[in-house]
Structure 1
C-alpha cells in the first residue's frame, strides 16, 4: 500500500512556493521539505485515528460478546406462576383485552 501521496506533496510545495505570503522568503527546497513534513504529519494522524477506531471496534465487540455469553437463557418470570404472568401480559382478564 502506498503510504505517502507524492502528488499531494508536490502540489503543496508548488502552492507554497508560488504564494509570496506563505513563502516568506523560503527557497524551493525549504518549501518541499515543509510539504513533506505536512504529509508525514498527515499520515501519522491518519494512522493514529485508524488505530483508535480499530481499538474502539474491538472493545465494542468484546463487550457485545461478554453480554451475549452471560446468560442467554435467563428466565425473567421464573418465580411467578403462569396465571400471574398471563394476567400481567393482559391475557385472561375476561374483558376482551388481548
Structure 2
C-alpha cells in the first residue's frame, strides 16, 4: 500500500510602507510545500529485485523497482503495474506580489 504521511506547510507575510498619504506600497509573499514521500519503501515486493535485474530491467537497484503506467486502464482504481521505492517530493510553491497604490 501507499502511505503519504507528510504535513503541509504554509507561510506568508505582508509589509506595507506609506511613502506619502497618497502613495502606498504593499508587498506580500508566501511559500507552501509538502515535504514527504509519495510512495514509501513499504511497496517493496518480498521476492526482492534480483529477478527483475535477471530479466534485463536496468537500474532496478537505483530506483528500487520497476513501475509501468497504462493509459485508459483501471484495475481496481490503479493503472500502475510493478513495484517502486521511495519517491521523495516537496511540491514547493511560492509567490511575491508587490502592489503600489497612488
TM-score, length-scaled by structure 2: 0.25
Report the structure, 1 or 2, having the larger helix content: 1
